[in-house]
Structure 1
Amino acid sequence: MKIIVPMAGRGSRLRPHSLTVPKPLIPVAGQPIVHRLVKDIAKVLKQPIEEVAFVLGDPAWFGDDVVESLEALAQSLGAKASIYRQDLPLGTGHAIMCAKPSLSGPAVIAYADTLIRAEFDLDPTADSVIWTKEVENPEAYGVVKLNENQEIVELVEKPQTFVSNQAVIGIYYFKDVAVLKDKLQEVLDENVTNGGEYQINDGIKRMMAEGKIFKTGTVDEWMDCGNKAITVETNGKMLQFLKTDGEEEMVAPSVTLDNAEIIEPCFIGENVVLRDCIIGPNVSIGNDCIIDNSIIKNSLIQNHTSIKNANLDDAMIGNHVKYNGNFTSVSIGDYAVLE
């Protein structure tokens, strides 16, 4: 099994936090988004992962440190890491085709801006599985249309009349991804675009037209990381899951507590100093931070940051920040200073 991860976008909706760190590498509950996504997919698949192929953008943005991080991620799964580049933002279909040498055999394609919780077995009768989540407002999403055999027969973008409440979340399984590759090559050769971009859906629709069987794999939780508010919410949800699972260390042994209280669930990284604080619930703090005389809950704080005299709720604070103030709901990027 292979996992293909297109992640060349800059993550503009998450600025300022994505100005210095690519969005898929921003930590949520102590691990980068893409790391959690790939590990959770591997857990759902319940079979060995042979290769993880990452499609990155400009090397000036996705540099050697990013490549090293992704190679380590693949190695942690016992898999080979393959690195490809998408030089121009020409859509999802184009991004997948940038990994053409890896497009063979069974594979999952997953876009690195979402996290999931799921437990299901892949349908062996399906040529492809499109992972979906039941939503209350399907008119705001791309959804699947099902026939009487619960097979997907159409993809409908933001339907004005009810089609189904199963929204496509951007994770796909193909029994042989080479079939999708051939169809996307046709799309590129014929210059079939939507808004100037080549889309994965045009390849999928061609597979459906040839009678390939598509089924749904429904996830229990679909957690977006598109903007500050939803990322903070996702951080809280993931911390709750991690506490229930009990599989990850939530508070590093090197944390220093000086008249400080931690209200679970929280993730506290290495070499963090907490003085005269109440931290939590639903707070993630990265490595080498100092928090002084503060109350923080429902917040996400990255590495090497100093916070004092703060009362924070629903906050997202970047790396190397110095914050001293009496604000509440804030969104502060890397290297900011508020004193």
Structure 2
Amino acid sequence: MKIIVPMAGRGSRLRPHSLTVPKPLIPVAGQPIVHRLVKDIAKVLKQPVEEIAFVLGDPAWFGDEVVTSLEALAKSLGAKASIYRQDQPLGTGHAIMCAKPSLSGPAVIAYADTLIRADFDLDAEADSVIWTKKVANPEAYGVVKLNAKEEIVELVEKPKQFVSDQAVIGIYYFKDVAVLKDKLQEILDENITNGGEYQINDGIKRMMAEGKVFKTGTVDEWMDCGNKAITIETNKRMLGFLESDGEEQLVASSVTLENATIIEPCFIGEHVVLKNSTIGPFVSVGESTVIENSSIANSLIQNETHIKNAHLEEAMIGNHVIYNGKFTKVSLGDYSVLE
């Protein structure tokens, strides 16, 4: 089994946090988004993953440090890492085709801006499985249309009339991803675009037209990381899940507490110092951060930041920030200073 991860986008909706760190590498509940996504997919697959192919953007942005991180992620799952580049933002189908040498055999394609919780078996009879989530407002999403056999027969983008309540979340399984590769190559050769971009859906629709069987794999939870408010909410939900699972140590043993209280669930990284403060619930604090004379709840704080005299809720603060003040719902990128 392979996992293909297109992640070349800059994540403009998450600025300023994505100005210095690619969005898929921004930590949520203590781990980068793409790390959590790939690990959760590997759990659902319930079979060995032999290769993980990452499609990155400009090397000036997705540099050696990013590549090293992704190679370590693949190794931790017993897989080979393959690194590809998408030099131009020409759509989802184009991004997949940038990993053309890896497009053979069974594979999952997953876009690295979402997190999931799921437990289901892949349908052995299906040529492909499109992962979906039941939503209350399907008119706001791309949804699948099903026939009487519960097979997907059409993909409908933001339907004005009810089609189904199963939204496509951007994760796909292909029994042989080479079939999708051939269809996407046709799309590229014929220069078929939507909004100037080559889309995965056009390749999928050609597979459906040839009679390939598509089924749904419904996830229990679907968490986005598109902007600051949604990312904070995802951090909150993920911390709740991790506390229930009990599989990860959420508070590092090297944390220093001086007249400080942690209200769980929280993630507190290595070598964090908490003085005269109350942290939590639903707070993630990156390594080597110092927090003094503060109360913080439902917030995301990254590495090597210093916070004093703060009362924060629904805040997202980057790396190497100096913050001293009486603000609340803040969003500060890396290397900001408020004193």
Within-5 A mapping of 1:1-339: 1-339=1-339
Supply the distance in 1 between the matched residues of 2:319 and 2:41 (Cα, whole angstroms): 28
Question: Structure 2: which 5+ residue stretches go unaligned?
Answer: none
* Residue identity opposite 1:225 in structure 2: C
* Residue identity opposite 2:147 in structure 1: N
Q: Deviations over 1:97-143 (max 9, x none)?
A: 00000000000000000000000000001000000000000000000
Question: Cα offset for 1:296?
Answer: 0.2
Question: Structure 1: which 5+ residue stretches go unaligned?
Answer: none
Provide runs of 4+ in structure 1 moved above 4 Å: none
RMSD: 0.3
Supply the distance in 2 between the matched residues of 1:193 and 1:83 (Cα, whole angstroms): 25
Q: Secondary structure at the match of 1:153?
A: strand
Q: Secondary structure at the match of 2:38?
A: helix
Q: Deviations over 1:260-305 (max 9, x none)?
A: 0000000000100000010000000000000000000000000000
Q: Secondary structure at the match of 2:335?
A: coil
* Residue identity opposite 1:298 in structure 2: N
* Residue identity opposite 2:331 in structure 1: S
Q: Secondary structure at the match of 2:217?
A: strand
Q: Secondary structure at the match of 2:276?
A: strand
Q: TM-score, normalised by structure 2?
A: 1.00
* Residue identity opposite 1:331 in structure 2: S
Question: Cα offset for 1:191?
Answer: 0.2
* Residue identity opposite 2:115 in structure 1: L
Q: Secondary structure at the match of 2:18?
A: coil
Supply the distance in 2 between the matched residues of 1:77 and 1:71 (Cα, whole angstroms): 10
Supply the distance in 1 between the matched residues of 2:156 and 2:325 (Cα, whole angstroms): 48
Supply the distance in 1 between the matched residues of 2:122 and 2:271 (Cα, whole angstroms): 42
Q: Secondary structure at the match of 1:184?
A: helix
Question: Cα offset for 1:71?
Answer: 0.2
* Residue identity opposite 1:281 in structure 2: P
* Residue identity opposite 2:202 in structure 1: D
Q: Deviations over 1:212-268 (max 9, x none)?
A: 000000000000000000000000000000000000010001100000000000000
Q: Secondary structure at the match of 2:150?
A: coil
Supply the distance in 1 between the matched residues of 2:176 and 2:189 (Cα, whole angstroms): 21
* Residue identity opposite 1:256 in structure 2: T
* Residue identity opposite 1:322 in structure 2: I
Question: Cα offset for 1:28?
Answer: 0.2
How many residues are matched? 339
Supply the distance in 1 between the matched residues of 2:205 and 2:25 (Cα, whole angstroms): 32
